[in-house]
Structure formats: C-alpha cells, structure tokens
Amino acid sequence: MWTYSAYRELIAILQEKNFAFSFFGEKSGKDVYLRHDIDVSIDYALPLAELERALGVKSTYFVLAVSDAYNPFSEKNLEQLQQILSLGHEIGLHVWNSEKIASESALLEEALERPIRFFSLHRPASSSVDFSALAASGLINCYDPAYFSKESYISDSNGNFRVGDPYLFLKNFTGKRLQFLTHPLWWGEAPLEISERVRSLETHHASSFRSYLSGNIAAFKEAIECSPVGVE
C-alpha cells in the first residue's frame, strides 16, 4: 500500500466497474469523484496528477490558499498548479474557515486566472462551520449530500483507510456514486510505511527550506560552504 503501483490498482478496480471519473457538478449515472486534499506540499501532487493522466482519469486537487505549510502563490507552486490543470484536472479551494470561502477562492482565481468552482473544508468541526456562508459562497461543497455520504466515501486521512481494506471496499461497492479522497503526501514510488513517509516529508521540507535560504541569503550559503564536511 501507499505506492503509485497500489494506486493504479485501486483506479483499475473502478475502471473495471465502469465508473465515470467526474468533476463535482457532473453526473453520468455512475460517478466517482476523485478528490485530493493538498495539506502540506504541492510537490507531492504533481506526480499523482501525471499518473492519473496516464491512466486516463481526472480528479480535483484542493489547495489551501492560506497555510503555514506551503505558499500556493510562489512561482514554483503556481507553475505546478498550472501543470496539474494542463493535465486535465481541476483545482478547488481547501479552506479552514467557512467564512473565508469567498475571499480565499478569489485569491486562487486571480492567481490561476480561472474560476474556482469547488471547495472542501479542512478538518472541519461542526461548531466552527458557518452553514449560511457555505450556501452563499456559490461554490460546490464536496460534502454536499449530492456527492457525499458515509456509505459512499473512502478516504486515506491520517494514513489510514477507515473502511478497512480499500481493495475489498471498492470491489464490493455497489453504489452509483462514490467520493474517493486521498492526500498526495502519503503516496510515492517506494513502498514506505506511514511513519517512514512522515520522516521523508520532514526531510523534504528541510531540504526545500535549505535550498531557499541558500538561494536567497548570501550569509547562509557562505556558512554552508565554509562548514567542514559533516558539520552544519
């Protein structure tokens, strides 16, 4: 599990069951809505988008406009989001605060120069959700009953499929509508356990930040170059 090879097998089950891979808002009679919440890094999303393009399926990548983990408006990240769009996928808003849906979707729309049509709430607590704001946003809520029910939902949240074996769940699923949520950070070429994936993520972020410092702060670059081998 957690490899791109395993993901291919999961998609293949859905293809064999003749599901249409649809965007939220589309309905063919037998639809699967592939959804990816980008919680920590856009770097992990693009390889998955490329894999899906090769498999002939489309999905929606939900991006945090405001995040301590990544800046979606950096040149590098915007380029990656544009690449995801060019592969035939969609970008949606991943949002912490329901009252910020309109303002944050506007930021993404301006940066990407295209409409944002969908949103997903990030770790929602019922007490913090402004349902009037959801209705007034004009965007499609991926937790709307038209696209979501506990019986027709599979997610890898926290590196765990709560439905049990995802292969068996998909093979035995008999409904006409399914929402399949993944988080790109859990998936990769190598068959790593979740604990190993977390350590890999930490290393990736440290390396990215180090590259940023080296490229933008001369004193940091000079200090690294002057450090003895093995000393930082």
Write the pLDDT tens digit of every residue in 159-207.
Answer: 999 999 999 999 999 999 999 999 999 999 998 888 898 898 888 777 7
What was the pLDDT predicted at 51? 99
Instruction: Give the DSSP letter of residue 150.
Output: G
pLDDT: which is higher, 223 or 198: 198
Decide: pTM greater than 0.85: yes
Structurally, at CATH architecture level, domain 4-191 sits in Alpha-Beta Barrel (3.20)
At 101-123, the pLDDT tens digits run 999 999 999 999 999 999 999 87
Q: Is the pLDDT of residue 129 over 60?
A: no
For 91-147, the DSSP string reads EEEEES-GGGHHHHHHHHHHHHTS---EEEESS--GGG--HHHHHHT-SEETTSTTT
Mean predicted lDDT score pLDDT of the chain: 90
What was the pLDDT predicted at 213? 76
User: What average pLDDT does this structure show over 18-37?
Assistant: 98
Domain ranges for the chain: 4-191, 192-232
Express as a percent the part of the chain with pLDDT over 70: 89
Question: What SS3 state is found at 181?
Answer: strand
Work out the burial of residue 186: count CB atoms within 10 Å of its CB; fewer than 13 is exposed, 13-18 middle, 19 or more buried.
Answer: buried
What was the pLDDT predicted at 4? 98
Using pLDDT thresholds of 50, 70 and 90, give the confidence band for residue 61.
very high
What was the pLDDT predicted at 200? 82
